Amino acid sequence: MSSFNDRGGLVGFGHYAPKRRVLNAEIEQDLGLEEGWIERRTGIRERRYVSSDQALTDIALPAAQMAIEDADIDPATIGLTLLATSTPDHLLPPSAPLLVHKLGLPNSGGIDMAGACAGFLYALAMADAYAKAQGIAVLVVAANILSRRINPQERASRVLFADAAGAVVVMPPTHKGQGILAADLTSDGAHYDLIKIPGGGSRNPYRPDMDPNEYLMSLKGGQTVFARAVTTLTNSGTKILDQAGLSPSDVDHWAPHQANSRIIQAVGTNLSIDPDKALMTLAKYGNSSAATIPFSLSKCRENRSYRTGDKLLLSAIGAGFVSGSLLIGM
């Protein structure tokens, strides 16, 4: 087992994607779209959906187990587990305590965090602070089953969303320049209604005559979402690089939320980040909301390594226009 004396910051990575592959052709045929329509507009070629017997904690579990094994630490040293999700097993209780139980973590607290696509960044910021303050390891998992929240007749959501999980283990830093170096977490409630699941909350609770579509994803104002996403992530990334006194060339790896290839390309161009530094899983795995960043961090390690001293830039924006950027030192 590794000790806190020789390793710190992000020390373990894990990911999980369900087995079922859903190709664009299937969706294009159902929606009457011409061949290639989805990939041209989103960059997605296929995505993964869970099987009928899988729930949220079922896909979060293998990603978390992989991250703990990769970290090579005693599970008993994990003192907190944060689960970023918009699709928990149940509305009540939270799913994190069940995940902690399934993982067999004897000393870990557990709580869900509902920050939509940016949820992992918020959870990671909390994990970094808690690990530093308490001197313990923190497990951060992001997982979503969005295939069960897609309106099959709504093109905007059906072509994008997918199911996946990713996880990281955060440990107290062992040297300067490790962990979060700069952070910018924001929200813009003026655009609260553009991406939402309308029914089921206290504002629109269950009614016997409720339209089932009110429990499914609704996306509106595509051009507004695109423009705001590009502007917000560009400004946020510029801000934290300035905070850290770094230039875009100092970024070794960029992990953007895998929302849409056009957004990623526009933000990368605006930030002057070399495209080769972008961690990309969008084409084969689609958009699994908060899970895309930890999933990409883990999956892309199969072809690249993170070395001591590397700088990672993470960027995300989603429903509620909850957004943020983190700059992390390895």
Superfamily in which the 9-171 domain is placed by CATH: Thiolase/Chalcone synthase (3.40.47.10)
Other beta carbons within 10 angstroms of residue 52's beta carbon come to 7
Examine the residue annotation and report whether 257 is marked as an active-site residue of this protein.
yes
The verdict on domain 179-329 having CATH code 3.40.50.10800 is no
Averaged over 122-149, what is the pLDDT? 97
CA proximity to 228, closest of 158, 114, 320: 320
User: Of 24, 144, 151, 287, which one is the catalytic site residue?
Assistant: 287
pLDDT in tens, 26-82: 999 999 999 999 999 999 999 999 999 999 999 999 999 999 999 999 999 999 999
Domain boundary assignment for the chain: 9-171, 179-329
pLDDT grade, residue 6 (50/70/90)? low
Two tokens, residue 44:
């997605």
The reply to whether 179-329 shares the fold of 9-171 is yes
Examine the residue annotation and report whether 117 is marked as an active-site residue of this protein.
yes
Q: Which helix (H) or strand (E) holds 69?
A: helix 56-71
pLDDT grade, residue 7 (50/70/90)? confident
pLDDT in tens, 237-280: 999 999 999 999 999 999 999 999 999 999 999 999 999 999 99
Quickly tell me which residue has 């309106």 as its tokens. 151
312 and 327 in contact (C-beta within 8 Å)?
A: yes
User: What is the β-pairing status of strands 137-145 and 78-84?
Assistant: parallel
pTM for this model (two decimals): 0.95
- Rounded Cα–Cα distance for residues 11 and 262 (Å): 31
Q: Which helix (H) or strand (E) holds 272?
A: none
User: Of 15, 257, 260, 300, which one is the catalytic site residue?
Assistant: 257
User: Of 117, 151, 253, 260, which one is the catalytic site residue?
Assistant: 117
218 and 192 in contact (C-beta within 8 Å)?
A: no
Examine the residue annotation and report whether 300 is marked as an active-site residue of this protein.
no
pLDDT in tens, 139-189: 999 999 999 999 998 898 899 999 999 999 999 999 989 999 999 999 988
65 and 81 in contact (C-beta within 8 Å)?
A: no
